Structure 1
Amino acid sequence: MQVKLNVVVCAAVAAFAGTVSAQDMIVKIGHVGPVSGAQAHYGKDNENGARMAIDDLNAKGVTIGGKKVKFELVAEDDAADPKQGTAAAQKLCDAKVNGVVGHLNSGTTIPASKIYNDCGIPHVTPSATNPKLTQNGYNTTFRLLANDNALGAGLALYAVDALKLKKVAIVDDRTAYGQGVAEVFKKTAMAKGIQIVDEQYTTDKATDFMAILTAIKSKGPDGVFYGGMDAQAGPMLRQMEQLGMANVKYFGGDGICTTKVIELSGGAKTLDNMVCAEGGASLAKMPGGTAWKARYDAKYPNEFQIYSPYVYDAAMVLVNAMVKAGSADPKVYLPFLAKTDYQGVTAKIGFEPNGELKNPAMTLYTYKGGKKAALN
């Protein structure tokens, strides 16, 4: 009896040892986004994309340097706040994650990028679009979509060439993202002959815009550009309708270009006048967009916003570099990340020397009948 028991125990120990040796390498991928606060719907969508990538990687049985890998997601919440963003970045550095996907906002990503650079951890943002992000010279920083130079300019050109607008008012939320995209729009619009009749400012926490909209209405613009996020754009569209501004065109970057804005606008007629831009191809035109979205919706029903396909690709790009380098050590795989040549869900991915995406696409969208539709 004792011999049999020993045999059983030894077999169990051997089986356990086999399990451990089969997964003898843990790779941690960090993700940071606002999963609390007014922008939580963006953050949850992004985190879903990261979790989907981790699940797919673990299902594939990826090996790095001949060792089978178990991937783990280390998710942090920055609530779209720069201070929380830097704290989250330091936490990921202290946890010695192997790479980071994030952050969502330019205002959190720009200060966090210095922390990642200082601790030598590569990070790929799926959504921060302020051009200043890649101007600090950090070789650890990469962006997976077009920046605001493309978005702001594209919207301004559409306002002039397609809609023939003459007078536009500008509002921004004073964040790095909102102010940045508004400045690019203004510069391009003025160069094309549009008159900027008013400039107003708000915050990324505000919901009452009656005072600034009343001031704007008195200037008689045929368009309003808003640099900010959908949590403000929705109420602003409702209040424009209340003020009799239903015929005024409304523009913005990817921050307002969500499905959530339909709900946030409360069905306002002004939503039909909205044109927004995203720094990538529409899902239908992404190389793997339609199939990927079907899988996403099955796993996370009614949670898709904008950026989760880019988050998914960002995680895959990090791991692709690790596999090619034969190492998950950031110092070893970073040069391979810089030379990325990867077919992702969103695009064929490669980076410029400064970390910007090569040949980024841009898509304009409008909203008709309560549905988001691509214009190009």
Structure 2
Amino acid sequence: MLAKVTAKVIYGVVLVLVLALGQAVSAEPKQGQQTVKVALLYNSSGPMASIDDPAYKGAVLAAKLINVQGGIAVGPKHITLELIPTDTASNIAKASSAAVDEKNKEVVAAIGYGDSAFVMSAASLFINKGIPYITPGATLPTLFQTLGDRFFMVAYGDDAQGQAIADYTYQTLNTKKIAMWVDTSMAFTLTVSDSFKQRFTELGGTILYADLFTSGSSTPPDFSKLIERLKATEPKPEAIFIAAIDEEAALSVKLLRNGGIDIPIVSADGFDSPFVEKAETVKPIKNVYFATHSFRGETRSEVTAFISAYKKEYGSEPANAYAALGFDAVNILADAIKRAGQRNSDVPDVLDTSAISKALSETKDFKVVTGTISMRQNMTPGKSIAIVEIKDGKYTVVHTWRP
């Protein structure tokens, strides 16, 4: 218990203080300094870049801040984190080859990707070698069943965020009849829409219909027929749920609002994107709500300190919550390395991947930028979900949903 409390102090209070000060303090070398390597997989170009590049930057920032403090103190040792980055450029075949790359042979953990398909391609190759794998942003709730007990999620599952926005739509917006638009090209959009539909109907709501579209090609989806049906439907939908990400999310908002349709638009964290905020609408965007990570629009010390440090490092605010998730992933791992080493603090073996995996699985009430992490049996974090409203170009947290 003492070890856990100490870890929380170091990677909670002290980290917040260092971030808040915004000081790049050069740490003097410590006696017994040791470096551990961590694989960092991401996509800096292609369709996954808007998710992975911010997460990569957040992860790099976290490791830098830990190291300038002198590293992770474990008994007589001070552990420096060395991230081994691999950019796979949104190519899923490269994700598999990156996992078996020669330079990743000596890593104690791997962190990577915000998309479940890329995680599936890479994670098992680490896990089969006994190396724990942490995904900052993938949210498919069945990943643990496939990958096993050395797989860990920093984000909630799609089932949880689908339930969260369904509860808010039915109970707070008092909306009982809705239409759905669902992108069929991604596991994320299919899973979150199924979860939303199940929860909304359980509460007593009615899904009038669900229209499908496909993204990912060079030609944007044709939403004109979907809008025609929405306008012609009787009884009139009181809201519309849209399962989409980035460009398609922004395009749907633009066409609905410019087409004179002002009913609430509800969605999941695919709408947590600057594309949506910058959608060119005749009137300022409002009446748009989405479930996302507890980060945007919040004033907790962990959040404000992170944003300050990120701006100092990169010259701009984080593009989205994935930057915070990448940051959190590294700090969760650092906390686990510390607790794993403290079990044998006289001669701590910080290269023991089994001990690190066990410590990750025991993470409890650990405060990070995107909430408070407690790993559940399926290695998803039981943490709160924010419901964010977009109004007049601003993001405001209007509700906090807890599982």
TM interval, shorter chain, is: 0.7 to 0.9
Deviations 1:160-191 (A, max 9, x none): 12222233222222311111101001111122
Q: 2:242 aligns with which of 226, 235, 239?
A: 226
SS at match of 1:255: helix
Q: Deviation per CA, 1:220-244: give whole Å up to 9, x if none.
A: 4332212221221011111223433
Give 3-state SS (helix, strand or coil) of 2:251's partner.
helix
> Does the 8 A contact of 1:129 with 1:147 survive in 2?
yes
Moved more, 307-316 or 214-223: 214-223
Deviation string, structure 1 residues 59-102 (Cα, Å, up to 9, x no partner): 12224564444322222334555444434334488443221222
Mapping of 1:273-292 within 5 angstroms? Answer: 273-280=287-294, 284=298, 286=300, 288-292=302-306
Q: Write out per-residue CA displacement over residues 200-251 of structure 1, whole angstroms, 9 at most, x where no aligned residue.
A: 2233425333333334443343322122212210111112234332x12211
SS at match of 2:298: helix
Change (3 A) 1:226 1:119: farther
Query: Does the 8 A contact of 2:297 with 2:397 survive in 1?
Result: no
Equivalent-residue separation in structure 1 for 2:299 and 2:292 (angstroms) = 13
The letter for the 2-side match of 1:367 is I
Answer whether contact 1:31 1:75 (CA < 8 A) is retained.
yes
Deviation at 1:27, TM superposition (A): 1.8
Aligned-residue offset at 1:262: 0.8
Paired letter, 1:170:
M
Q: Which residue of 1 aligns with 2:266?
A: 251
CA 1:91–1:129 in 2, change beyond 3 Å: closer, same or farther?
A: same
* Inter-CA distance 147–284: structure 2 relative to 1 (3 Å threshold): same
Question: How far apart, in 1, do the equivalents of 2:282 and 2:44 lie?
Answer: 27
Q: Which residue of 2 aligns with 1:49?
A: 58
Higher relative contact order (CA 8 A, sep 6+): 2
Partner of 2:395: 372
Counterparts of 2:230 and 2:216, CA distance in 1: 20
Alignment of 1:341-352 (within 5 A): 341=364, 342-352=366-376
Q: State the distance in 2 between where 1:369 and 1:111 align.
A: 40
Distance 1:165 1:79 in 2: 41
| Cα displacement string for residues 13-72 of structure 1 (whole angstroms, at most 9, x for unaligned residues) | xxxxxx999686332222233321234232221111111011112112224564444322
Gap change, CA 1:254 and 1:286, over 3 Å in 2: farther
Q: If each structure's helix is expressed as a fraction of its own residues, which one has the higher value?
A: 1
CA deviation digits over 1:280-334, x for unaligned, max 9? 3556254511122111122221443112222212112212222232313323322
Contact 1:169–1:223 (8 Å) recurs in 2: yes
TM-score calculated relative to the size of structure 2: 0.79
State the SS of the aligned residue for 1:108. helix
Asked if structure 2 preserves the Cα contact closer than 8 Å seen for 1:121 and 1:330, the reply is yes
Residue 123 of structure 2 corresponds to residue 123 of structure 1:
no
Partner AA of 2:387 in structure 1: L
Q: Which residue of 1 aligns with 2:378?
A: 354
Aligned partners of 2:170 and 2:200 also within 8 Å: yes
Map 1:327-346; keep pairs closer than 5 Å. 327-341=350-364, 342-346=366-370
C-alpha root-mean-square deviation of aligned residues, in Å?
2.7
In structure 2, do the counterparts of structure 1 residues 347 and 260 end up closer, same or farther at CA, with 3 Å as the change threshold?
Answer: same
* Partner SS state of residue 146, structure 1: coil
Q: Distance in 2 between matches of 1:296 and 1:20?
A: 25
Listed one character per residue, the Cα deviations across residues 117-153 of structure 1 (whole Å, up to 9, x for unaligned) are 2122212222212211223361111112322222111
Please name the residue that 1:8 is paired with: none
The number of residue pairs the alignment matches comes to 355
Matched residue, 1:202: 213
Query: 1:310 is aligned with what amino acid?
Result: L
TM-score, structure 1 as length reference: 0.84
The partner residue of 2:194 within 183, 193, 218 is 183
Partners of 2:109 and 2:353 within 8 A in 1 = yes
**Equivalent in 93, 100, 110 of residue 110 of structure 2:** 100
Alignment partner of 1:355: what SS? coil
1-structure distance, mates of 2:38, 2:215 = 29
1:75-94 alignment, distance < 5 Å: 75-80=85-90, 82-91=92-101, 94=104
Q: 1:162 to 1:340 in 2, by over 3 A?
A: closer
Conservation of the 8 A alpha-carbon contact between 1:198 and 1:216: no
What is the CA–CA distance in structure 1 between the aligned matches of 2:77 and 2:179, rounded to whole Å? 58
**Quick one: which amino acid aligns to residue 36 of structure 1?**
S
The residue type equivalent to 1:193 in the other structure is G
- Between Structure 1 and Structure 2, whose CA radius of gyration is higher? 1
